[in-house]
Structure 1
Amino acid sequence: MLLSVNNLAVSFGGVQALSLSHFSLQPQELRVIIGPNGAGKSTFLDIICGRTKPDTGEVYFNDRAIMGMTEVSIARLGIGRKFQQPSVFPGLTVYDNLLLAAKMKKDILSSLFFKPSQLLKARIHEVAEKIGLTKVLSSIAGALSHGQKQWLEIGIVVLQDPKLLLIDEPAAGMSDEETYKTGELLLELSNNHGIIVIEHDMKFVQQIARERVTVLERGKLLVEGSFNDIRNDQRVIDCYLGRNNTQLENL
Structure 2
Amino acid sequence: VRKRKRYRKPYPGESEGIVEEMRFVAMRLRTPSPSGEEEEEKGEVDSGEESWRPSVEGFVKYLVDSKLVFDTVERIVDESSDVAYVYFRKSGLERSASISKDLEWFKEQNIAIPEPSSPGITYADYLNELAESSAPSFLCHFYNIYFAHINGGIPIGRKVCEKLFEGRELEFYKWDSDVQLLLKDVREKLNKLGEHWSREEKNRCLREAAKSFRYSGRLIRLIIL
Same fold by TM (over 0.5)?
Answer: no
TM-score (norm. length: structure 2): 0.28
* Structure (1 or 2) with the greater strand fraction: 1
